[in-house]
Chains A and B, each alone.
Chain A
Amino acid sequence: MEIFKVKAGSSIKFKFIPFLIFTACSSYFIIFLIRRRDSSFLFSYVIWSNGSFSIDFSIYFDLISVVFISTVILIGSSVLTYCYWYISDEVYYNRFIHMVVIFLIAIIFIIFIPNVFSVILGWDGLGLTSFLLVCYYQNDKSLSAGMLTALTNRIGDVLILLSIRFMFSEGRWYIYNFFCFSNMVVFSCLLLFAGITKSAQFPFCAWLPAAIAAPTPVSALVHSSTLVTAGVYILIRSYYIISHYWLFSFILQILRVITLLLARTSAIICIDVKKIVALSTLSQLRLIIFSLRIGIPFLSFFHLITHAMFKALLFLSVGSVIHSNKNIQDIRILGSGWVTMPVSMSVIVVANRSLSGLPFLRGFFSKDLIIDMLFSNTISALLYYLCFFGALFTGLYCMRITWIVFFSINKLRLTRLSLLESYYLLGPYLCLRFGSIFLGFILRAKVEVFRLFRRCSDYEILGVSFLFLVSLFYFLYLRDNKRFSPCVSFLNQMWYIESLTRQPISNSCLDFGAVLVKSLEKGWLEFCGPQGIYITFCNFSSRRESYQNNYFIKCFMVILLCSSIIMVFSCFYF
Chain B
Amino acid sequence: MVVRTVFICIFCLIFMEFQYFLIIIGTLTFFICISISSFYSLSFSCNGLVYYDYLSISLSVLTCYICLLSYICRKRVIRYKSFIILINFLLLSLVLAFNVRRFFVFFFIFESVLSILIFIIMGWGAQPERLQACTYIFIYTVFGSLFFLIGVGFLYFNGFRDRMCGIINLNNKRIHFFWWLFLIGFLIKIPIYPFHLWLPKAHVEAPVAGSILLAGVVLKLGGYGLIRFLYFFLFRYINLIYGFILNVCLLGGAYCSFVCLRQVDLKCLVAYSSVVHISLVVLGIFRNCYVGVIGSLIIIIGHGLCSSGLFSCVTCLYKSRSSRRLLMNKGFVISSPLITILFFLLISRNIAAPPRLNLLGEIIIFLSCYSVRWFFFGFLRIMRFIGAAYCLFLYTSCCHGKNSHYLISNNTIQYLDYIILFLHWLPLNFLLLFVI
Residues of A within 8 A of B (CB): 1, 4, 8, 47-48, 50, 53, 55, 92, 95, 117, 120-121, 124-125, 128, 131-132, 135, 138-140, 143, 146-147, 150-151, 154-155, 157-158, 161-162, 164-165, 168, 509-510, 512-514, 516-517, 520-521, 525-526, 529-530, 533
Count residues of chain B with CB under 8 A from any CB of chain A: 46
Q: Which of A139, A147, A157, A509 contacts B401 (CB 8 A)?
A: A139
Q: Which of A161, A509, A516, A517 contacts B389 (CB 8 A)?
A: A509
Q: With A132-B344, A530-B139 given, is the CB distance from A121 to B259 under 8 Å?
A: no
Chain B residues, CB < 8 A from A162: 366, 377, 381
Chain A residues, CB < 8 A from B255: 516, 520
User: Can you give 24 A-B contacts (C-beta < 8 A)?
Assistant: A1-B415, A50-B294, A117-B363, A120-B359, A124-B353, A125-B353, A131-B392, A135-B396, A147-B392, A147-B396, A154-B385, A165-B366, A165-B367, A513-B260, A513-B261, A513-B262, A516-B255, A516-B258, A516-B262, A517-B262, A525-B197, A529-B197, A530-B135, A533-B139
Are A4 and B436 in contact, CB atoms less than 8 angstroms apart?
no
Distance A428 CA – B70 CA, assembled complex (angstroms): 51
Distance A8 CA – B337 CA, assembled complex (angstroms): 10
Are A50 and B197 in contact, CB atoms less than 8 angstroms apart?
no
Q: With A125-B354, A164-B366, A526-B197 given, is the CB distance from A513 to B396 under 8 Å?
A: no
* Closest-CB distance, A140 to chain B (whole angstroms): 7
Residues of B within 8 A of A (CB): 135-136, 139-140, 194, 197, 255, 258-262, 290-291, 294, 333-334, 337-338, 344, 348, 353-355, 359, 362-363, 366-367, 370, 377, 381, 384-386, 388-389, 392-393, 396, 400-402, 415, 418, 436
Are B388 and A151 in contact, CB atoms less than 8 angstroms apart?
yes
* Closest-CB distance, B333 to chain A (whole angstroms): 7
Further pairs besides A143-B396, A517-B259: 14, Cβ < 8 Å = A48-B436, A50-B290, A55-B436, A120-B354, A125-B353, A138-B400, A143-B401, A154-B388, A157-B384, A161-B362, A162-B381, A165-B366, A520-B259, A526-B197
Chain A residues, CB < 8 A from B139: 530, 533
Are A161 and B363 in contact, CB atoms less than 8 angstroms apart?
yes
Chain A residues, CB < 8 A from B194: 525, 529
Label chain B's interface by main secondary structure. Answer: helix
Distance A533 CA – B197 CA, assembled complex (angstroms): 14
Chain B residues, CB < 8 A from A509: 258, 261, 386, 389
Interface-centre pick from B354, B362, B401, B415 (highest chain A CB count, 10 A):
B354
Chain A residues, CB < 8 A from B401: 138-140, 143
Chain B residues, CB < 8 A from A143: 396, 400-401
Are B338 and A513 in contact, CB atoms less than 8 angstroms apart?
no
Chain B residues, CB < 8 A from A131: 392
Label chain A's interface by main secondary structure. Answer: helix
Distance A530 CA – B131 CA, assembled complex (angstroms): 14
Distance A516 CA – B276 CA, assembled complex (angstroms): 15
Are A530 and B415 in contact, CB atoms less than 8 angstroms apart?
no
Are B197 and A151 in contact, CB atoms less than 8 angstroms apart?
no
Are B355 and A121 in contact, CB atoms less than 8 angstroms apart?
yes
Distance A529 CA – B333 CA, assembled complex (angstroms): 41
Are B392 and A516 in contact, CB atoms less than 8 angstroms apart?
no
Q: Which of A47, A120, A146 contacts B436 (CB 8 A)?
A: A47
Are B259 and A158 in contact, CB atoms less than 8 angstroms apart?
no
Distance A55 CA – B354 CA, assembled complex (angstroms): 15
Distance A143 CA – B333 CA, assembled complex (angstroms): 13
* Closest-CB distance, B394 to chain A (whole angstroms): 12
Distance A510 CA – B258 CA, assembled complex (angstroms): 7
Please give me the residue from chain B that is nearest to A524 by CB atom: B194
Chain B residues, CB < 8 A from A150: 388, 392
* Closest-CB distance, A553 to chain B (whole angstroms): 32
Q: Which of B333, B354, B436 contacts A138 (CB 8 A)?
A: B333
Q: Which of B260, B334, B385 contacts A158 (CB 8 A)?
A: B385
Are B354 and A164 in contact, CB atoms less than 8 angstroms apart?
no
Chain B residues, CB < 8 A from A124: 353-354, 359
Interface-centre pick from B136, B290, B384, B418 (highest chain A CB count, 10 A):
B384
Distance A92 CA – B338 CA, assembled complex (angstroms): 12
